[in-house]
Amino acid sequence: MPDPFSAQADNLSSPCSHLATVAPSDTVDLAVPCRSLWVGTPGNLKVTTLGGEVVTVPDVVGIFPVRVTRVWATGTVAAGIVAMW
* pLDDT tens sequence across 31-50: 999 999 999 999 999 999 99
| Low-confidence winner among 7-11, 12-16, 33-37, 48-52 (lowest mean pLDDT) | 7-11
Residues 6+ away with beta carbon under 8 Å from 76: 24, 43, 44, 45, 46
> Could you state, in order of their start, the residue ranges of all structural domains in the chain?
19-84
Average pLDDT over every residue of 72-81 = 99
Across the strands, what pairs with 60? 43
Give residue 60's pLDDT: 98
Give residue 1's pLDDT: 82
Average pLDDT over every residue of 52-63 = 98
Average pLDDT over every residue of 48-60 = 99
